[in-house]
Amino acid sequence: MPRNRVLTAVVAAASISLLASACVGSSDSGANDDPDAKTTLTFWHGWSAPSEVKAIEENIKSFEKKHPNIKVKIVKGVTDDKLNQALRTGGSNSPDVVSSFTTDNMGRFCTSNALADLKPFLDKAKIDPAKVFVPSMAKYTEHEGKRCTVPLLGDAYGLYYNKDAFKEAGITEPPKTFSEFDKVVKKLTKPKGDTFERLGFMPNYLGYETTVEHYGNAFGVQYLDGNGKSNTAKDPAVKNMLKWQKNLVDELGGFQKLNKFRTSLGDEWGPKHPFHTGQVAMQLDGEWRGKMAADAGLDFEIGAAPLPVPDDQVADYGKGYLSGTILGIANNSPKKNAAWELVKYLSTDTEAVVSFANAIHNVPSTVAALNSPKLNDDPVYRTFVDIAQHPKSSHAPSSVNGGAFLLTLQDSAQKYENGKEKDLDALLKKNDEQVDKDNEQAG
């Protein structure tokens, strides 16, 4: 499920207001329908690429064979703003089962009661989320102890690198710490006048996938304190992350030079992605990039490794940022028991999870699927499978205001990297004040 996480977060933030304006449902699941009766479920999802749509359709066909009394009407390519509107208003054409790419919006789904509480269904089926799902994925699909979603495949982020460029520069292995990384980036970089023939790595926050959220896991950032208050001014990891990134930007020629180069690069989702063309030698990205690179027919060999960590956290090397699709039942659906059968199948049936993961090149979200002998054994892909299982791999915490706090920090980071804000302590204090104000208004 390749997707631009920054764009997704922006869309999520825009759609949050739809849910914030009212409590969209009761906390009572109210599942009274007969799951064995003949019925039709409506399933909304966000996938739109032909291969992705075909893969989910194949899984739905398999489900219908196992549950001949249930037919599933599939609606593809649904955006989060349309999804949120349907969950809020209901109606005969609204969905029974929904999936969303916006993991950051999960807290809003739960607190607004837009999605049904899945705990009664899980308990009845004797499914322990902490044991069935990858632990970190089980964690990011609940909010403050309430489980209104389950994971449906995941994304793990790591570092892709151009093996030919490494060999040319005499680099024998991917860097494990950021001090090693900075040296490798500069060694791989080939300046060309006021631009670059090749850049070792694009660190800018406007670069593809190089967001504060994706860097944050490597530094062990704690965005919120135990009371849900913004913690960026107090957490030394935040300062370390921003200072490291700003220093690398400056050493590569400064924000303006890098940004000029960035704006000349090809589309993130097309064959002219700068990593594909060799214009960028290393790329922070998800597991899907390996398949996209293969499809682009590159004339060089690629490798993948975990993103480096700060020098004083080398024992944690191997971890990475995680995200993924979340799956739930619309709280206004009158067919919750039948809907649960579909949710349970898509999220916990090992064969279904493995076949879907292989088809769209995502990381499985169940422990059994990760250990399946049928899972893709490509070594580049397997790097991300390993990252997903690292005990310190994680997603940012859920929030009543969705991912808005991440967008606020991203905006602050951009002001610091381009020199508009020089006092980092003052900047982070203002960041905390803004996040707390926004969260108070939302919840």
Domain segments of the chain as ranges = 5-155+323-383, 156-316
- Residue 330 bridge partners (DSSP): 115
* Residue 93 CB partners (closer than 8 Å, separation 6+): 42, 86
Topology annotation, domain 156-316: D-Maltodextrin-Binding Protein; domain 2 (3.40.190)
> Cα(321)–Cα(58) distance, rounded to whole angstroms?
29
235 neighbors 424 (Cβ within 8 angstroms): no
What pLDDT tens digit does each residue of the chain (443 aa) get?
544 444 444 444 444 444 444 444 444 456 889 999 999 999 999 999 898 999 999 999 999 999 999 999 999 999 888 888 888 877 778 899 999 998 888 888 888 888 999 999 999 999 999 999 999 999 999 988 899 999 999 999 999 999 999 999 999 999 999 999 999 999 999 999 999 999 999 999 999 999 999 999 999 999 999 898 999 999 999 999 999 999 999 999 999 999 999 999 999 999 999 999 999 999 999 999 999 999 999 999 999 999 999 999 999 999 999 999 999 999 999 999 999 999 999 999 999 999 999 999 999 999 999 999 999 999 999 999 999 999 999 999 988 888 899 999 999 999 999 999 999 999 999 999 999 999 898 86
> Cα(101)–Cα(47) distance, rounded to whole angstroms?
9
> Cα(35)–Cα(340) distance, rounded to whole angstroms?
9
Please state the φ and ψ torsions of residue 2, each to the nearest 5 degrees. Answer: -60, 135
Q: Work out the widest C-alpha separation in the chain, in whole angstroms.
A: 70
Q: What is the dihedral of CA 19, 25, 29, 35, to 10 degrees?
A: -90
> Cα(95)–Cα(75) distance, rounded to whole angstroms?
9
Confirm whether pTM is higher than 0.95.
Answer: no
* Domain 5-155+323-383 superfamily per CATH: Periplasmic binding protein-like II (3.40.190.10)
Residues listed for the chain: 443
> Cα(329)–Cα(337) distance, rounded to whole angstroms?
10
* DSSP three-state, residue 400: coil
- The strand pair at 282-286 and 150-162 is best described as antiparallel
Task: State the pLDDT at residue 10.
Answer: 43
- What sign does the dihedral 177-410-386-319 (CA atoms) show? positive
Same topology between domain 5-155+323-383 and domain 156-316: yes
441, with CB counted inside 10 A (0-12, 13-18, 19+), is: exposed
Q: Taking Cα atoms as reference points, which of 19, 426, 432, 429 lies closest to residue 227?
A: 432
